[in-house]
Structure 1
Amino acid sequence: MSKKLLLIAFVVSLGGFLFGFDAGIISGVMSYAGPEFNLNDIQSGWVVSSPSFAAMIAMIFSGRLSDIVGRKKILIVVAFLYAVSALLSAYATSYEMLYIARMIGGLAFGAALVLAPTYIAEISTAENRGKLVSIQQLNIVLGFFAAFLSNYYFNKINIEGGSFFTDQNVWRWMLGVELIPALLYFILLFFIPKSPRWLFTKNRNDEAKQVLVGVYGEEKASIEANTILSSLKGATTKLEEKVKLKDLLKPSLRFVLIVGLVVGVLQQITGINAVYFYATSIFKQTGIGTNAAFASGILLSTITVIFTLVAMYLIDRMGRRPLLLVGTAGIAISLLVCAYGFKQATYQLTLETISELKFEGANKLNAFADKVYNSDVDFKNDMISVLGNKVYSKNDGAILEMATTINATLVLIGVLGFIACFAFSLGPVMWVLLSELFPNKYRGFAIGVIAFVNSFISWMVQLIFPWELSNFGNALTFFIFGAIAFIGFFVMLKILPETKGKSLEQIENELVTN
């Protein structure tokens, strides 16, 4: 694999880094912005999930737009939108401004998540395509790592005191630092070539061959060019013959569409973005305290990076199918472990522990001193009834730390097991598989449609997760995710094909019926 090809793939997938950074940052931001704007469960869910809602729109149109004007031009627009979103989010003066600013970022990462794997698959060869497309997921998890690390240090500086950072402005800095990688992404995109397969579909053959020669050298470029031209021969890819939704429903594409949809839905419906986007809040539920919750986010993101690298090493050795099956089974087990750990928890405040709480109005909790709760929902409702939503939201970490008796290690093992299993399976492998399943003519549009469904599920999970915790409780919420993963394992066991080591043209011949 040439260094130039590796560098191109890394630059293109930096949009994934920005997605991961934005997703990781918001888990810490909401600890401050939520109380400041006095948000209820649905409003909190909307601030967190609004980028995914906007991403759905971008995913539908970005694939088709990139088929018309090219992958590179749309990616440059994406980088610009990321920068605008970071600035407006940092300066948000209201709940409405905050979610609108985040929706602008959602348009960016919706397009980036579709176009980066598409572009990388189109510039890669069969033997290294899995690794290169997986760089997208690596960048996503590196973004999470950078975000959790950034949140941890901003939070640490804030609680240590000082005149510069306060509870009212520290979250703005958390959001604003995203401007730096966004500008870097914008600049670097001007130095990557256009997609050679896209150029061939536009009959710009000489330009496409120059790109292939620049990446692979004369000999290998000639082989790749002949393979691509052969696959396009007889296929009409001119602009006037647009690919429509009904084209994806025809019998010849039915199998690959079903596989893509199953994997696309399963990736999000098992709750990965609930864990990532609400990581700080979830760790608070174990009673470890706010500071430890921020620190645990770093551990979570470190595990993600390690196991994503494992996936990149194994994906072109073991194949897509084994990684997906083993990972999904592990996800189901891990989530059920979390559910069991939360189910065993009890909650009790004493007069002594209440006296250690340092916020104004803490003495109101004396009315519930020595009462033992087996339900986290009942406990939180009683706390909110006397403190109000704003005060409880701002101090929930300290209150839960004093009141919770739980096997926090068991829950932590479950969460980290879930993250690890996702990181070497559904996380990177889904995008690799989607970039391989569909013929050249349909690839951009088909990935956009499945990514739309994927993003819709992600949005729903993020939106209702705070409501689920408040109404179902921690244990039932994680049990539902685990049960879904368990069912998904058996569905994939039956339908998943293997695409390892095959050219895009071979996969089309085997899986797309004529």
Structure 2
Amino acid sequence: MNTPDDVVKLNRSYTILISLIVALGGFLLGFDSAVISGAVKGITVYFEMTEWMLGFSVGCVVFGAMAGNLMAGPLADRFGRKKVLIIVAALFTISATWSAFATGYTEFIIARIIGGIGIGGAILIAPIYIAEIAPPKLRGSLVSFNQLNIVIGISVAYFSNYFLVNIEGESWRWMLGVEAIPAAIYFLSLFAVPKSPRWLIQKTGNEEIAQKTLAKIGGEEYAKSTVSEIQRGLAKKETKGKLSDFFKSRYATIMIIAFGIAFFQQITGINAVFYYAPTIFEQAGGSTDSSFLQAIVVGLTNLVFTLVAMWLIDRLGRKPLLLIGTTFMTIALLMAAYAFNNATYDFSEKTLSKIDNKELNMVLNDFQGKSFESQAALFEAVEPKLEGSQFLDFKRNQITNFIQINATLVLIAILLYVASFAISLGPVMWTLLSEIFPSKIKGIAISVVGFFNSLVSFSVTQIFPWELSNLGPTITFAIYALLSFCAMLFVYKFVIETKGRTLEEVEELLIRK
């Protein structure tokens, strides 16, 4: 016979195991988002992409995620969380496999969008399922598994890219295709996961199966009391909020905070850094191997400081973390802009020897012995000498051979930026959104704000390659620094502190304002 401690340990282990299986969706989300960073150069050459085509091929995942955001909630309510998660796992598997074998630009985009739909479903449904199945004392830590797994997925993607980049042939296919392995494991593992007890009672009325699942989690008494609590909640459930509720003046302050934070979380450029990390480091003159290695450091920094944020958020508070994070994001981006602004572009026998295109080399030899103080001056001098395709090749692939820059400062700036984001706008936004919305409109409000957040993310990733090629890294990072400074001002003026307040107190405070 088990002692009470044995029972608690057994139930805790069972719940943690289920949560870890479901949270694999977060791992795949993070992996899928970051893995494209290593494939950028390969797919650009293979599919002969322009800057806008490249931007869309990277950002279309976010485009798919927006569709996933809109579809996942209603489908999960109708067919159950478990079934939707199984579909999500299948989408990840299909996307990874198809992306790896794609031979045309259009089918590559379709494959990536399919993965994006999976991302949109995973980011909403995995935490909902975990929250519904977890006992109250474990709920916070178990739901955080999903966010932690997203960050781990990003880090593993950078590691994977580093080890696969030197494979002979088209290494980008291996980078994208390897995701099919964890996706298939996720798909098969989900069949061992029970259906959400709350969904069973709310949608099917099947209390018997729900009670069996709850008994495995916390014992018979826990199962009975939880079923009774769910039934009481159903009996007094409020009418669901509608889209028109957003326009009520009483919710104005809440909407300003929600849409403002959702806007600044993405417009400050975080996904541009995650999706194009090796490209940025190559712009700073790094070799392919070193740029992929530096991307790994970016992923590990993101992981470590996400853990720091999880530890600080209930100790230091939401607003202080946001103010600290946005301040140092601004400083970091200004450092990156400063480093690129002070770079020079030198044409010497040594740098010219790195150009393997003989025709291009012959034209550029006219500049031997010259040095340019800015990228704009360099482009102004070089463009008239080159044909359109040659100039495009020069901007994308050859310019890094001539840059003389403080690469250490660039690396420090990017790491500081990622660390600052990871303790602030990254995790705090979702915590705030779960706290500031009244229960009546919480479901639909988070979906709409999440959709808006994805739309801003798509815009950033779409434009970034064009910015880097046409505006140059100095102006690009300066723009993001300005936006980060605006984010800091927004937080200072509009965001309230929710630490230590009940949800009812937060609601009363915001609606009264």
1:102 Cα offset (Å): 0.4
Counterpart selection for 1:88 from 87, 98, 101:
98
Q: How do 1:289-300 and structure 2 match up within 5 A?
A: 289-300=287-298
1:487 Cα offset (Å): 1.5
1:178 Cα offset (Å): 0.9
Aligned to 2:5: none
Aligned to 1:309: 307
Counterpart selection for 2:61 from 20, 44, 51:
51
Counterpart selection for 2:27 from 12, 17, 24:
17
Aligned to 2:366: 367
**In the alignment, is residue 459 of structure 1 matched against residue 458 of structure 2?**
yes
Q: Distance in 2 between matches of 1:418 and 1:37?
A: 32
Alignment coverage as a number of residue pairs: 501
Aligned to 1:282: 280
Higher relative contact order (CA 8 A, sep 6+): 1
Identity over aligned pairs, percent: 44
1:233 Cα offset (Å): 4.2
Aligned to 2:482: 483
Aligned to 1:63: 73
In structure 1, what residue type is equivalent to 2:270?
Answer: I
Kept in 2, the 8 Å contact 1:118–1:444? The answer is no
Aligned to 2:216: 214
Q: Distance in 1 between matches of 2:257 and 2:81?
A: 25
1:78 Cα offset (Å): 0.9
Q: Single out whichever of 486-495 and 388-397 deviates more from structure 2.
A: 388-397
Report the secondary structure of 1:110's partner residue. Answer: helix
Q: Distance in 1 between matches of 2:136 and 2:510?
A: 16
Aligned to 2:6: none
Aligned to 2:16: 6
1:252 Cα offset (Å): 5.2
1:300–1:116 Cα change, 3 Å: same
Kept in 2, the 8 Å contact 1:336–1:479? The answer is yes
Kept in 1, the 8 Å contact 2:73–2:125? The answer is yes
Q: Distance in 2 between matches of 1:178 and 1:33?
A: 17
Aligned to 1:189: 190
Report the secondary structure of 2:195's partner residue. Answer: coil
Q: Distance in 2 between matches of 1:387 and 1:154?
A: 34
Q: Distance in 1 between matches of 2:494 and 2:222?
A: 34
Aligned to 1:162: none
**In the alignment, is residue 260 of structure 1 matched against residue 258 of structure 2?**
yes
Kept in 2, the 8 Å contact 1:134–1:428? The answer is no
1:325 Cα offset (Å): 2.8
In structure 1, what residue type is equivalent to 2:264?
Answer: L
Q: How do 1:22-41 and structure 2 match up within 5 A?
A: 22-41=32-51
Q: Single out whichever of 82-91 and 52-61 deviates more from structure 2.
A: 52-61
Aligned to 1:270: 268
Relative to the length of structure 1, the TM-score reads 0.87
1:234 Cα offset (Å): 2.8
1:352 Cα offset (Å): 3.1
Q: Single out whichever of 417-426 and 212-221 deviates more from structure 2.
A: 212-221
Aligned to 2:324: 326
Q: Distance in 1 between matches of 2:354 and 2:290?
A: 18
Counterpart selection for 1:74 from 68, 84, 88:
84
Q: Deviations over 1:335-374 (max 9, x none)?
A: 1221122111111121232124445443432122233222
1:119 Cα offset (Å): 3.0
Report the secondary structure of 1:347's partner residue. Answer: strand
Q: Deviations over 1:392-439 (max 9, x none)?
A: 777878744531121111111111011111122222222233334445
Q: Single out whichever of 305-314 and 212-221 deviates more from structure 2.
A: 212-221
1:260 Cα offset (Å): 2.4
1:236–1:356 Cα change, 3 Å: closer
Gaps of 5+ in 2: 1-8
Q: Single out whichever of 121-130 and 64-73 deviates more from structure 2.
A: 121-130
1:137–1:272 Cα change, 3 Å: same
Kept in 2, the 8 Å contact 1:38–1:389? The answer is no
1:318 Cα offset (Å): 3.3
Q: Deviations over 1:253-292 (max 9, x none)?
A: 4444333222222211110000000111111111122221
Kept in 1, the 8 Å contact 2:31–2:154? The answer is yes
Report the secondary structure of 2:102's partner residue. Answer: coil
1:83–1:485 Cα change, 3 Å: same
Counterpart selection for 2:147 from 137, 142, 146:
137
Q: Distance in 2 between matches of 1:148 and 1:379?
A: 32
In structure 2, what residue type is equivalent to 1:409?
Answer: T
Q: How do 1:333-344 and structure 2 match up within 5 A?
A: 333-344=331-342
1:224–1:349 Cα change, 3 Å: farther
Q: Distance in 2 between matches of 1:385 and 1:215?
A: 71
1:333 Cα offset (Å): 1.8
Q: Distance in 2 between matches of 1:87 and 1:10?
A: 24
Kept in 2, the 8 Å contact 1:131–1:315? The answer is no
